[in-house]
Amino acid sequence: MASFTVASTVAIFGARIDGSRQALGNLQQFTCAVTLWDVSEWMTLQSLATTTYHVHAPLGGNPVVDIVGGAGEGALVIAGLGSTTAILTGLERNSYLPYNRTQGTATFLITGSAI
Amino acid sequence: MADYSDLESGTYATLETDTYFLLEGAQVRQVSLQVIFAGVVLTNVIQARGEVSADTGWPTCSVFVTAKPPTGNEEDDITVVAGAGNNVTRFTGKVRRFRPSGFPKSIEMVCSGTLAYAAEWAPVLTGSTDVAYRFGVSGDFPDGSQGFFPSGGTDQDLVQFALAQVPGITYTSGNIGGTGTTLGLSAPRSFDWKNGATAWSYIQQLDRATLYRTYQARDGTIYRVQMIGHPDNTADFTLGPQDMLQGASGDRNTEQTRNNLRVLGHDYGVGVGPVQGTATATPIPGIPDRWEMFSSDLIEDGNDPLGAAYGLTGLNADTLADQILPDVDKEFVEASIPSWRDDTHGPGMTCLLDALDRLAIGEPMWVARHAWEVGDNGWMATYGLTGGGLQQTNPAPPV
């Protein structure tokens, strides 16, 4: 199980290691394979996305992320992997699965400690 | 209620993980941009950018929208509040133009501070020919001109008079500083305001001769303060590599260095040329012995060519030479620094540029220009800095 929380909104989802990956950039980009059991869970997670942002990379020191449009930074907790802060920058899913279930991926830009 | 039991296999809880990244996280900011035009908050703003420059005098701003606002036209009020946490008024002024683009469709609203009106307004009194306002006399003249300041006036008095003539400009007299020196008693004709000469050109002549600058801050307030363009003894803020973005650049040169300065003032027509003042210094080792010339007809006092003082009233060429010399007898240092910082900074402040390893500059610099932009690329500011030489007592003006 995993959760992503921005302010008082909590999105719960299942996080699977198969299909998940991470990439190096100015910040860690973490793509997580997710399973959602209900449309409402997908809608909640979608409401926490940040669609427009910019990462400033100073010549020295840590990056600065400007949130231009979207929910912004939240707390990401993935059971067995760890917890950190992140912004949800991408979300994709199958167009159809039975019983409202969804499998897809959620992409996070890790703004706290790398996980 | 969702049942996650089916997912036990393949979840992180049951598998070993590790972290291979050395990253330390980031500072996250929420960017804000609010534009109020003709009393209406605009809801279709794409981007905005602005600038306050000591040399320009008034702030400028451009706001990009998807369509022309249904309310408001040119010369209506506009205010931009923006930042990335420090959300303050970045610009207050007037919309001067609409500049549409066909594709991608957008309209640039070009704005400037009201002080720009001073550069567009010039006196042309009915019937007058050459001079509009005659200094040091009173009454109306047959040629249509009018007398003003019959007993002389200080530089701040004259600047306020000029500002007061311009429609659309408001100022507070307490914000218009000056040398306090009574001008025009020795050479009143130098202070005549000629027909067709804009208020801004008249003010700039006074500013240049007194080493003051009249400018409008981001919030629309008009100030006149002493700005020699030199860093203060105490830095107001610091910029280091952690604040700087790609594109930061610097320049150090001695091509503009002058260790001698001659100031020329008014020529009284007695056959010895204008009043003058001189300041000299030993050349910086390796730099040629060179002269800088500075002249203004508004300087009424100084020395004759043999160095004897005239002892007149008004601005003194010798005093000005001493004040200007430190600004030219130095290694000229300049820098342009893009930064993510959204502090409330502006011209006249002193910045400690702590970037010796990257820009070969690690010294206090004077802020000559502060530009900003906010949009899809977040918030970014660009500092135009000048420096070199020794710091002086030159505290920051309001920004």
Q: Is B29 close to A67, i.e. CB distance below 8 A? A: yes
Determine whether the interchain pair A111/B17 forms a contact, defined as Cβ–Cβ distance below 8 Å: no
Q: How far is A65 from B84, CA to CA, in rounded Å? A: 10
Pairing of strands B106-112, B131-135: unpaired
Average the pLDDT over B106-114 and give the result: 97
| Residue in B109, B107, B121, B191 with CA at minimum distance from that of residue B157 | B191
- pLDDT at site B395: 80
A16 compared with A97, residue with greater pLDDT: A16
A97 touches B at CB < 8 Å: no
Report the distance separating Cα B391 and Cα B387, nearest Å.
9
Indicate the length of chain A as a whole number: 115
Buried b (16+ CB within 10 A) or exposed e, B170-192: ebeeebbbbbebebbebbbebbb
Task: With beta carbons less than 8 A apart as the criterion, state whether B351 and B385 touch.
Answer: yes
Q: Write down the pLDDT at residue B1.
A: 38
- Average pLDDT value for chain B: 92
Q: Which residues of A touch B242 (CB under 8 A)?
A: 58-62
- At residue A96, the pLDDT reads 74
Collapsing DSSP to helix, strand or coil, B327 comes out as helix
Instruction: Please count the residue pairs, one from chain A and one from chain B, whose beta carbons lie less than 8 angstroms apart.
Output: 136
Give the tokens for residue B44: 């279709």
Binding-face residues of A in 7-66 toward B, CB within 8 A: 12, 14-18, 22, 24, 26-28, 35-38, 41, 52-66
- 8 A C-beta contact, residue B193 and residue B123: yes
Would you give the DSSP letter of residue B389? S
What are the C-alpha distances in Å from B56 to residues A4, B77, B262, B331, B347?
A: 49, 20, 26, 24, 11
- The 10s digit of each residue's pLDDT in B159-210 is 999 999 999 999 999 999 999 999 999 999 999 999 999 999 999 999 999 9
Query: What is the enclosing helix (H) or strand (E) of B366?
Result: strand B361-375
Residue B2 has pLDDT above 60, yes or no: no
Do B12 and A17 count as a contact with CB atoms less than 8 A apart? yes
- Per-residue pLDDT, B233: 87
Q: Is A79 on the interface with B (CB under 8 A)?
A: yes
pLDDT in tens, B341-360: 999 999 999 999 999 999 99
Give residue B39's pLDDT: 97
What lies within 8 Å, CB to CB, of A22 at 6+ separation is A28, A29, A30, A31, B20, B21
pLDDT tens for each residue of B318-345: 999 999 998 899 999 999 999 999 999 9
Across A43-47, B5-9, B36-40, least confident range: B5-9
Q: Which of B114, B344, B376, B354 is nearest to B220 (CA)?
A: B114
Q: For position B7, what pLDDT does the model report?
A: 43
In this prediction, residue B4 carries a pLDDT of 45
According to the model, what pLDDT value does residue B6 have?
45
Min CA distance, B2 vs chain A (Å)?
6
Q: What is the pLDDT of residues B236-285, one digit of tens each?
A: 999 999 999 999 999 999 999 999 999 999 999 999 999 999 999 999 99
For B246, list phi and psi in degrees, rounded to 5.
-55, 135
The ipTM assigned to this model is 0.90
User: pLDDT category, B3, cuts 50, 70, 90?
Assistant: very low
Comparing C-alpha atoms, which of B205, B21, B323 is closest to residue A112? B21
pLDDT band at B15 (very low <50, low <70, confident <90, very high): low
Tell me how far apart the alpha carbons of residues B32 and B391 are, in angstroms, rounded to a whole number. Answer: 36
Could you tell me which residues of chain B have a Cβ less than 8 Å from any Cβ in chain A? 2-4, 7, 10-15, 17, 19-31, 84, 240-246, 248, 340, 358, 375-380
Angle between helices B155-165 and B199-210 (to 10 degrees): 160
CA B315 – CA B138 distance, rounded (Å): 23
Q: How far is CA B387 from CA B229, B239, B241, B250, in A?
A: 8, 14, 18, 11
Higher-pLDDT residue of B122, B394: B122
Give chain A's end-to-end CA distance (angstroms, integer).
16
Task: Give whole-number Cα distances, B399 to B91, B174, B213, B374, B394, in Å.
Answer: 11, 16, 13, 19, 14
Q: What is the mean pLDDT of residues B221-246?
A: 91
* Cα–Cα dist B137/B149, whole Å: 7
To the nearest 10°, the Cα dihedral for B37, B39, B41, B42? -30
Percent with pLDDT over 70 in chain B: 95
pLDDT(B14) > 70: no
For position B317, what pLDDT does the model report?
A: 97
**Distance between the two ends of chain B, CA-based, in angstroms?**
57
Write down the pLDDT at residue B128.
66
> Which residue of A36, A67, A114 is in closest CB contact with B23?
A114
Residue B16: pLDDT band (50, 70, 90) is low
Q: What pLDDT is recorded for position B227?
A: 79
What integer pLDDT is reported at residue B9 of this predicted model? 59
Q: What per-residue confidence (pLDDT) applies to B335?
A: 98
What are the phi and psi torsion angles at B299 (to 5°)? Answer: -85, 115
pLDDT tens sequence across A42-86: 999 999 999 999 999 999 989 999 999 999 999 999 988 899 999
Q: Give the closest residue to B159 by CA, choosing from B227, B224, B217.
A: B224
Q: Is pTM, for the whole model, over 0.80?
A: yes
A91–B contact, CB cutoff 8 A: no
**Is it the case that residue A29 has pLDDT exceeding 70?**
yes
Is residue A2 within 8 Å of A79, Cβ to Cβ?
yes
pLDDT of residue B112: 98
What whole-number distance in Å separates Cα of residue B180 and Cα of residue B178? 5
Q: What is the dihedral of CA B297, B301, B305, B307, to 10 degrees?
A: -150
- The size of chain B, in residues, is 399
For residue B94, list its beta bridge partners.
B77, B112
* A114/B166 Cα distance (integer angstroms): 60
Minimal Cα–Cα distance from A106 to chain B, Å? 15
Residue B107 has pLDDT above 60, yes or no: yes
Q: Minimum mean pLDDT among B14-18, B26-30, B42-46, B60-64: which range?
A: B14-18
Average pLDDT for residues B306-310, to the nearest whole number?
Answer: 93
Interatomic CA distance for residues A21 and A17, integer angstroms: 8
Distance separating alpha carbons of residues B86 and B302, to the nearest angstrom = 49
